[in-house]
Structure 1
Amino acid sequence: MRLLPLLLLFVLTSCYEKARDCKPYQTGKFYSEIIIDGEVFKSTFRRNKKIQVETYDNKVDSSQVRWVNDCEVIFKTINPKNMAERKDVHLKILTTTDSSYTYEYSYVGETTKQKGVAYKVK
């Protein structure tokens, strides 16, 4: 009988698992919003299996794309212009919907993470 409450708890909590189907977001055209210190930063980007080209504040940056698994990717700036751009960025997709994904990212090896939402553009 002590097993019944544990089984019930497992069944109830497993119903609330967040969706995460990352493969549809590995390629395509996207719009992203990130809020840092109350300020919204917006960008657009196109990603294929090898390259991501992002436009932010009328500047274009290109990065090599390396998927660690279906939901985690490493970006390496192709032509870094300063020391900060030389650092690789690790992005992890946390949840997905039919048209967007929520993610967290940081420089590789750093613990400070930021979160954002990307929307697939059709």
Structure 2
Amino acid sequence: MMSSFQKPAPLKFALLFIPLLFTSCYQPERDCSKFKEGTFQFSVEENGETLTTEFTRYGELEVSEFNGQTDSARIRWINDCEYVLTSLTDTTIGGDKPIHMKILSTTEDSYTFEYKFVGTQNISRGTAVKID
């Protein structure tokens, strides 16, 4: 006879499995289309200093302003949420290396992304805020 404090094995398994169903079904919002064009701002903390880049993306062109320097890049969209930036002016940190960008999640006015120089394994993350 089973005591009132013991649960049958299938019920124990089900109670452990149910929370996994709810957490594994969560998908972050990812409406990338509203971030294909516009003016954005991206800030990063480096050596205790906040560095901010402002960039405008329209059509197949992205123009960015950082530390008084302007850079232009060609955009090649891979799909709605991924694109490759190829510098047209070679004044960026990576020079002539294209940058692969992937939008991971979106909110009403911002998106979280990861990026890396094409051909490298070092991936960084950031958040861009749409300002116009």
TM class by shorter-chain length?
0.7 to 0.9
Bigger relative contact order, structure 1 or 2 (CA pairs below 8 A, ≥6 apart): 1
The count of residues paired between Structure 1 and Structure 2 equals: 122
- Runs of 5+ unmatched residues, structure 1: none
Q: In structure 1, the residue corresponding to 2:94 is in which secondary structure?
A: helix
Considering fraction of residues, name the structure with more strand: 1
Normalised to the residue count of structure 2, the TM-score between the two structures is 0.79
* Alignment partner, residue 121 of structure 1: 131
Identity of aligned residues (%): 33
What is the distance in 2 between the residues matched to 1:5 and 1:27? 46
2:65 corresponds in structure 1 to: 55
Q: Cα 1:83–1:56, aligned 2, differ >3 Å: closer, same or farther? A: closer
| Displacement after TM superposition at 1:107 (Å) | 0.3
CA distance in 2, matches of 1:37, 1:19: 32
Query: Aligned-pair RMSD on alpha carbons?
Result: 2.4
Is contact 1:31-1:121 (8 Å) kept?
yes
Q: CA deviation at 1:35?
A: 3.4
Q: 2:128 and 2:101 mapped to 1: Cα distance? A: 12
TM-score (structure 1 length as normaliser) = 0.85
Aligned to 1:40: 50
